[in-house]
Structure 1
Amino acid sequence: MTDVQVNPPPRVGFGGGCHWCTEAVFAALRGVEVQQGFISAAPPDDNFSEAVLLEWDPAEIPLSALIEIHLRTHASTSNHKMRGKYRSAIYVFTAEQERDAERLLAERREADEADYVTRVLRCEAFKPSDPRFQNYGEKNAGNQFCTRYIDPKLDKLRADYRRFLEPSAL
């Protein structure tokens, strides 16, 4: 019997707002597995910031769509006072992914004529959230936080990115 080497799915991290919201956005997408937690990068961005870590199937959704969705579902042009806790970032794992993310972010800046504060950073460490906060949007659907912050992001996905949604998110 021959062992078949299977390449693991690519990974990327996203941070920008509350990880409860970010988790709900990416969990609604086909071919995406989400871990909610905290990511740190190299200094000076080595403090842990709320984020999600994704594994995804590029045949279902390209990195360019993930980046576009990320930019459009958090305050990606605002350098507000909470950026330490909610760093606006695309966290990458390889030099190739870093080049791709930088290029895609530059393309979005030009196409959207937007001054995104989002940066591309190398993921140095990830630690998951406490299990009681995992899948927050799903577990707490209908509560005030979800209706105020998560539901509008999901409505945006349904309006603009329907082709990438899980059937259960439609």
Structure 2
Amino acid sequence: MEQATLGGGCFWCLEAVYQQVRGVESVVSGYAGGHVPNPTYRQVCGKDTGHAEVVQVTYDPDVVSYRALLEIFFTIHNPTTRNREGADVGPQYRSIILHHDKAQQETAESVIEELNASVFDGGIVTEVEPLDTFYEAEANHQDYYASNSNLPYCRAVIDPKLKKLRQKHADKLSGAVA
């Protein structure tokens, strides 16, 4: 098993998406990329810790590649807006790839270069940085969509991302698509 750590807006959205991907063993919402040890959700939302809301995806590389995870990542959020995803605004919602090793860094940079040339016309603002420390978010942020799919935020924000996932990456989905 390997891990990928990604931030692209609200971690609830990324978690709901990656939980649908074949080869993904687990998805944990959390915080990374900041300077305050053991931050809380309230602190991260205060915009002073430097952390982004991220998910840590544990996956089987024999089933789904890191590149495929990144292709999904760039499909389900807007990597051209700095410090925001839709109505969610602040540095905690920035687009960020926190690589675990040199190979992940090179893959991320390569995917960004390809997408900048073919899809985003050089506009990707996604940060690529080494992962320092990942802090797991509080229990009420784990499996959020699975527990709250009928809430207005989930219906308005997460459901369209899941629809886009099914439309563009159906070949990468597990049998348990919501």
Q: TM-score, normalised by structure 2?
A: 0.82
Alignment partner of 1:71 out of 74, 82, 85: 74
Partner of 1:102: 109
Alignment partner of 1:93 out of 100, 115, 122: 100
Partner of 2:33: 40
> What's the offset of the Cα at 1:139?
0.4
**Partners of 1:113 and 1:41 in 2: how far apart?**
27
Partner of 1:29: 21
Partner of 1:28, secondary structure, is coil
**Partners of 1:69 and 1:40 in 2: how far apart?**
21
> What's the offset of the Cα at 1:160?
0.9
Alignment partner of 1:160 out of 146, 150, 168: 168
Q: What are structure 2's unaligned runs of at least 5 residues?
A: 36-48
Relative to structure 1, the CA distance from residue 31 to residue 129 in structure 2 (aligned partners, 3 Å threshold; closer, same or farther) is same
Matched AA of 2:9: G
Partner of 2:40: none
Matched AA of 1:76: P
Partner of 1:20, secondary structure, is helix
- Encode CA deviations 1:102-152: one digit per residue, 9 max, x unaligned: 112211222214411112111111111111121000001121111001000
> What's the offset of the Cα at 1:41?
5.8
> What's the offset of the Cα at 1:20?
0.6
Q: Is 1:20–2:12 an aligned residue pair?
A: yes
8 A contact 2:52–2:92 mirrored in 1: yes
> What's the offset of the Cα at 1:96?
2.3
Q: Is 1:111–2:118 an aligned residue pair?
A: yes
Matched AA of 1:71: F
- If you compute each CA radius of gyration, which structure gives the higher value, 1 or 2? 1
Relative to structure 1, the CA distance from residue 58 to residue 123 in structure 2 (aligned partners, 3 Å threshold; closer, same or farther) is same
Aligned length: 159
Moved over 2 A (4+): 80-83
Matched AA of 1:24: A
Partner of 1:84: 91
Relative to structure 1, the CA distance from residue 80 to residue 129 in structure 2 (aligned partners, 3 Å threshold; closer, same or farther) is closer
8 A contact 2:7–2:55 mirrored in 1: yes
Greater mean deviation of Cα atoms: 104-113 or 84-93: 104-113
Partner of 1:130: 138
Q: What are structure 1's unaligned runs of at least 5 residues?
A: 1-8
RMSD after superposition: 1.7
8 A contact 2:6–2:97 mirrored in 1: yes
Q: TM-score, normalised by structure 1?
A: 0.86
